[in-house]
Amino acid sequence: MLASALEAATAIEGALGAAVVDSSLGMALATAGDPPGIDLDVAAAGNSALVAAKQRTMADLGLTDRIEDVLVTLGTQYHVIRMSDAHPGLFLYLVLDRSRANLAAARFELGRIERRILSRP
């Protein structure tokens, strides 16, 4: 399941690297690719903290909705975090080259990957 998700994620146009992350542990369960200057294991821990902070803020605001995805834009990259509906606490993390990626298409495809692969029993 993890290898299939990563294979599909790194096939997205502009993908530099991807990880399947367990935010409750703050660690990557599997990674693929080699984004320049980014250690995917360190990014997994930092993004887990980002997700936890957003969830706390939502709780403080009394919001009962769920996080679908989180987007961070950098000068040369997009970082997309896609939460798993089937496995609470699990998310896909994708690093994209901003000059080669179509952000809308990448978000759509990452959602498909999450539903098609990570939602399998």
Domain total for the chain? Answer: 1
pLDDT at 120 over 70: no
Query: Domain of 56?
Result: 2-118
10 contacts 31 by C-beta, under 8 angstroms: no
| pLDDT, tens digit (0-9, with 9 covering 90-100), for 88-118 | 899 999 999 999 999 999 999 999 999 887 7
Residues 65 and 72: their CA atoms lie apart, in Å, by 20
| pLDDT, tens digit (0-9, with 9 covering 90-100), for 26-74 | 999 999 999 999 999 999 999 999 999 999 999 999 999 999 999 999 9
| pLDDT, tens digit (0-9, with 9 covering 90-100), for 5-39 | 999 999 999 999 999 999 999 999 999 999 999 99
54 contacts 72 by C-beta, under 8 angstroms: no
pTM of the entire predicted model: 0.94
CATH number at residue 44: 3.30.450.30
Residues 41 and 19: their CA atoms lie apart, in Å, by 8
Burial of residue 79 (CB within 10 Å: 0-12, 13-18, 19+) is buried
Residues 3 and 89: their CA atoms lie apart, in Å, by 18
